[in-house]
Amino acid sequence: MDSSQPARTKHYQAYYTPAEVDALSSQTRGKMTSAQEEKARQTACTFIEAVGSRIGFPRKTIATAQVLYHRFHLHFPRKDAPYTDVTVAALYVAAKIQDTLKKPRDILMASYAVLYPDRAAKIKAVGGEIDMDPATVESDRQRLLSIERLLLECVCFNFTLRLAFPYVIKFGRALQASRDLVGLAWRIAVDSHRTLAPLMYPPHVIALASLRMAALLSTSSSTSSSPAPEAASVSVATMLSAPGDWEKQHRVSLADLEDICHMLMDLFLLYAGGPSTSPAMSTPASPPAPWTAPTAADKLTRLKVAMRETDHEPRPRQSRKTTGLQDLELGKNEGTVRFLFGYE
């Protein structure tokens, strides 16, 4: 080790401001446009879904892997590692965080089955493995382990990642939302991990934004044949669309909910646009994306316009870690590093 390099201290940064996310993304995307970066992000999230489902991971592990993937590419350029390598490493680390442990080989075999469905179809035994060159498997395993270390450094070895799902249920009960509305909010909370919202907002804020989004979607597409869900949706949508005591009670800001809802709407519109705009997997033998938009594109567009007309001023945010974008770290891997969860 070069003794001339001083030891550094890296604090865990649970959440980033939108300005930080934009600054980091612009430096790690390289020559990609924002649209190309978003397609790459959705391709990776779809791959994580497919591999995680095939291996039998619960939703919490899949969602954690998606968040880890997003965080990794805030600090490391996309051109430096294929999404297939980063995603399997993210699933491996997520399995450790959520205590759903799997061996690297098991995750790699599940990824091969997704990447090469023709070979997977030839497996006769239940639970059998796809036929792969042992040298290829070992090479991929070594890359997985090397990216695992970088992922652990990205989270400062903090294994206390929280998700929005439990809060969706708690807020649903507190707001007396219908079962159907809570179910839709749960699915929207699942979708939120395809966006960068979990890197910018705590899980309870995402949960409340998911309920707001579910209520807005339900009221915009409700029919006379479902009066009870519509009444519950209108009540929730009305309360969560106007400033009130509920913000202080739940420690959230209406402007933050609006920001998350717009991220979700952009995601829905991306998929509702059809095959030409859907960020499908790029490999020839890829599985179709299992995700579909919750309603038609024209209704989503009208709802997004209506949301923009009633938006409030964004809440000013300043990172606890730095006041200047030039100080943000981009995956430095030099010298001795001391990782801390808190702030001194």
151 φ/ψ angles, rounded to the nearest 5 degrees: -65, -40
**Using an 8 Å Cβ cutoff, are 206 and 197 in contact?**
yes
DSSP for residue 293: -
pLDDT tens-digit map of 282-328: 333 344 444 555 567 778 888 888 778 777 777 777 665 543 444 44
Rounded CA separation 261/258 (Å): 5
18 φ/ψ angles, rounded to the nearest 5 degrees: -55, -35
Q: Which CATH class is domain 8-161?
A: mainly alpha
The full set of domain ranges for the chain reads 8-161, 165-309
DSSP for residue 339: E
Q: Which of residues 287 and 60 earns the better pLDDT score?
A: 60
- In 3-state terms, what secondary structure has residue 228? helix
% the chain with pLDDT above 70: 80
Helical ranges in 56-154 per DSSP H: 59-75, 83-97, 104-115, 117-121, 134-154
Rounded CA separation 46/170 (Å): 28
Tell me the two tokens of residue 222: 């409700």
pLDDT at 91 over 90: yes
Amino acid type, 288: P
Q: Which of residues 30 and 143 earns the better pLDDT score?
A: 143
- Which run of H or E residues covers position 272? helix 254-272
DSSP lists the bridge partners of residue 341 as: none
Average pLDDT, the chain: 83
pLDDT tens-digit map of 148-197: 999 998 888 888 889 999 999 999 999 999 999 999 999 999 999 999 99
Rounded CA separation 285/114 (Å): 8
- In 3-state terms, what secondary structure has residue 130? coil
Mean of pLDDT values over 113-124: 79
